[in-house]
């Protein structure tokens, strides 16, 4: 399966704990986007990363949320001190390059975070 | 007002009917327009991708973009029960790094 991989698929955390969500892009893709889908709402952009660089984090909450895409390994979305309002589905998408008319983003299956 | 508006539905049609979906938007910088299909508790799956105004056809799917009216449409011909899903429109602009702005999604039910 050469698609976008996300793990875990389901994650349960208690308030105040940390959540770490992982995303491995499609082979050959070096651009990663994270989106959040709250219950009964559409997907909202959070952050756009390339290897070792955050390109756009305009959709990321200012506190408790961080993201990285290291030279080796998957992209990580980290949520510290989770609250019930963080319960949502978090989707990762990847694309091969930026600024091209052939760019498209392919989504992973998502991680469903539940905060108790 | 949201940047991208999409009727949430549900839109219920009999099998074999044409499904007509649409989105309106307010940001004239959008250049790329996409339709995704999302089954319950799954990730969005890209259906159609169009650039600027015009029509694009792929099998049973036809996407239309009217930039002058800031209006996009997706038509599904000969609908099947397996087409029952939520359909999301999405848009992007190169200047904004190709981040996608989504509509809220329209839930479609195709009844056998």
Instruction: For residue B46, list chain A residues with Cβ-Cβ distance below 8 A.
Output: 104-107
Closest CA relative to residue A40, chosen from B64, B40, B98:
B40
Contact residues for B54 (Cβ-Cβ < 8 A; gap 6+): B64, B65
- Does residue A91 contact residue A108 with C-beta atoms inside 8 Å? yes
SS3 state of residue B64: strand
Q: Which residue of A has its CA nearest to B4?
A: A42
Condensed to tens digits (0 to 9), the pLDDT of residues A77-95 reads 999 999 999 999 999 999 8
pLDDT at A40 over 70: yes
Rounded to a whole number of angstroms, the distance from the CA of B104 to the nearest CA of chain A is: 4
Q: What is the pLDDT, as a whole number, of residue A104? A: 82
SS3 state of residue A55: strand
Q: Which of B36, B44, B101 has the CB atom closest to A45's CB atom? A: B101
Would you place residue A115 in the very low, low, confident or very high pLDDT band (cuts 50, 70, 90)?
very high
Contact residues for B50 (Cβ-Cβ < 8 A; gap 6+): B32, B33, B34, B56, B63, B65, B72
Of A98 and B26, the one with more pLDDT? B26
Would you place residue A100 in the very low, low, confident or very high pLDDT band (cuts 50, 70, 90)?
low
Question: What is the residue-level pLDDT of chain B in tens, covering all 112 positions?
Answer: 789 999 988 999 999 999 999 999 999 989 899 999 999 989 999 999 888 788 999 999 999 999 999 999 999 999 999 999 999 999 988 777 778 999 999 999 999 9
- Does residue B85 contact residue B39 with C-beta atoms inside 8 Å? yes
d(CA B64, CA B9): 20
Does A5 contact B at CB distance below 8 Å? no
Summarize the confidence of residues A17-38 as an average pLDDT: 94
Chain-wide mean pLDDT for chain A?
91
Q: Which of B97, B98, B105 has the CB atom closest to A42's CB atom? A: B105
Rounded to a whole number of angstroms, the distance from the CA of A96 to the nearest CA of chain B is: 12
Q: What is the pLDDT, as a whole number, of residue A99? A: 53
Closest CA relative to residue A31, chosen from A83, A102, A81, A86:
A102
Summarize the confidence of residues A32-44 as an average pLDDT: 89
Q: What percentage of chain A carries pLDDT values higher than 90? A: 75
pLDDT at A63 over 70: yes
Would you place residue A98 in the very low, low, confident or very high pLDDT band (cuts 50, 70, 90)?
low
Residues 42-81 (A) with a CB less than 8 A from some CB of B: 42-45, 48, 55-56, 59
Q: What is the pLDDT, as a whole number, of residue B66? A: 94
pLDDT at A30 over 60: yes
d(CA A40, CA B10): 13
Residues in chain A: 116
Of A108 and A102, the one with more pLDDT? A108
Would you place residue A43 in the very low, low, confident or very high pLDDT band (cuts 50, 70, 90)?
very high
Does A95 contact B at CB distance below 8 Å? yes
Instruction: For residue A33, list chain B residues with Cβ-Cβ distance below 8 A.
Output: 99-100
Rounded to a whole number of angstroms, the distance from the CA of A107 to the nearest CA of chain B is: 6
């Amino acid at each position: 399966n050469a698609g976008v991989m996300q793990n875990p698929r389901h994650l349960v955390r208690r308030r105040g704990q940390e959540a770490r969500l992982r995303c491995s892009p499609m082979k050959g893709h070096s651009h990663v986007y994270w989106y959040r889908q709250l219950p009964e709402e559409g997907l909202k952009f959070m952050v756009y990363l390339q290897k070792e660089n955050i390109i756009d984090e305009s959709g990321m909450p200012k506190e408790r949320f961080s993201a990285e895409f290291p030279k080796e390994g998957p992209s990580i979305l980290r949520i510290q001190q989770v609250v019930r309002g963080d319960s949502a589905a978090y989707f990762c998408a990847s694309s091969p390059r930026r600024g091209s008319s052939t760019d498209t983003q392919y989504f992973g299956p998502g991680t469903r975070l539940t905060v108790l | 007002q949201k940047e991208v508006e999409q009727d949430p539905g549900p839109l219920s049609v009999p099998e074999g009917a044409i499904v007509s979906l649409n989105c309106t938007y307010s940001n004239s910088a959008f250049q790329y327009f996409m339709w995704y299909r999302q089954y319950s508790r799954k990730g969005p799956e890209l259906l159609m991708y169009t650039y600027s105004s015009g029509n694009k056809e792929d099998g049973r799917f036809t996407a239309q973009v009217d930039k002058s009216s800031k209006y996009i449409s997706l038509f599904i011909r000969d609908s099947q029960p397996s087409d029952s899903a939520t359909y999301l429109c999405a848009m992007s602009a190169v200047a904004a790094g190709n981040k996608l702005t989504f509509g809220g999604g329209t839930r479609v039910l195709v009844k056998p």
